[in-house]
Amino acid sequence: MGRIGLVVTDLVLSFMWIWAGVLVNILVHGVLGFSRTDPSGEIVRYLFSIISMFIFAYLQQATKGGLYNPLTALAAGVSGGFSSFIFSVFVRIPVEVIGSILAVKHIIHVFPEIGKGPKLNVAIHHGALTEGILTFFIVLLSMGLTRKIPGSFFMKTWIGSLAKLTLHILGSDLTGGCMNPAAVMGWAYARGEHITKEHLLVYWLGPVKATLLAVWFFKVVFKPLTEEQEKPKAKSE
């Protein structure tokens, strides 16, 4: 897929990702009638969230690289060289943010009573550290899975989904456990809080720095694959 195709795909997937999260909540709490304080409802919601992540992982594979998370785009850009970095930072990431903003606007238009997205429940620096730590581990894990089991879609997605869900739960009471600046930006823009110090430090600066650190750490700790190691990887894909 060419770069124009990737940009269009990023826009669509970002839009769909925001809607998917809202629809899961509507399905669990509205259609199925689970209370928000009911542990059974939370388990069902987590199950649907994993299914959603599998669907989006398949869509990413089907579109040959479509993304909905700026941190994933940033990690790929940093790992791919200067041209890839420029394309990711100045084209793909802004498009993913636009897709998220459009999705939230559409959601609020269709469901005016819907929630207002994640909120920070701790001090700013504590929140930035939380989002940074969560992001560091998920980026590191994603890169490790891509390297260790490149051809196993189910296993990679299963491990990645459980890891994302676990980290989300750990950070949900503090920052929302988002690990996706574009998604948070969509809701913050709707609230008029997208240029606040809180939003920029916690949901952008912290995760971005953590992503860069994770990519650097991975390159330092894990040596690049040799040509002989690359051959089995190519066959498995």
What is the tens place of the pLDDT at every residue in 149-165? 767 889 999 999 999 99
pTM: 0.91
Q: Tokens in use for 26?
A: 């509507």
C-alpha 52/C-alpha 129 separation (Å) is: 27
pLDDT value of position 80: 87
Interval 88-130: pLDDT, tens:
999 999 999 999 999 999 999 999 888 788 989 999 999 999 9
Are 219 and 139 a contacting pair, CB within 8 Å? no
Are 51 and 20 a contacting pair, CB within 8 Å? no
Rounded to an integer, the average pLDDT of 36-65 is: 95
Domain ranges of the chain: 3-236
pLDDT at 236 over 50: no
Q: Report the SS3 class of residue 97.
A: helix
pLDDT value of position 231: 52
C-alpha 118/C-alpha 127 separation (Å) is: 12
Rounded to an integer, the average pLDDT of 31-55 is: 94
Name which of 158, 189, 174, 172 is nearest 36 in CA terms: 172
C-alpha 36/C-alpha 26 separation (Å) is: 11
Rounded to an integer, the average pLDDT of 64-77 is: 96
pLDDT at 224 over 90: no
Quote the mean pLDDT of the chain: 91
C-alpha 227/C-alpha 233 separation (Å) is: 10
pLDDT at 23 over 90: yes
pLDDT band at 1 (very low <50, low <70, confident <90, very high): low
3-state helix, strand, coil in the chain (%, to 5): 75, 0, 25
Return the number of other C-beta atoms located less than 10 Å from residue 236's C-beta: 10
User: Of 236 and 38, which is predicted with more confidence?
Assistant: 38
Reported as half-sphere exposure (CB side, CA atoms, 13 A), residue 203 has a value of 30
The CATH number assigned to the domain with range 3-236 reads 1.20.1080.10
Enumerate residues 6+ apart whose C-beta is below 8 A from 142. Answer: 72, 75, 160
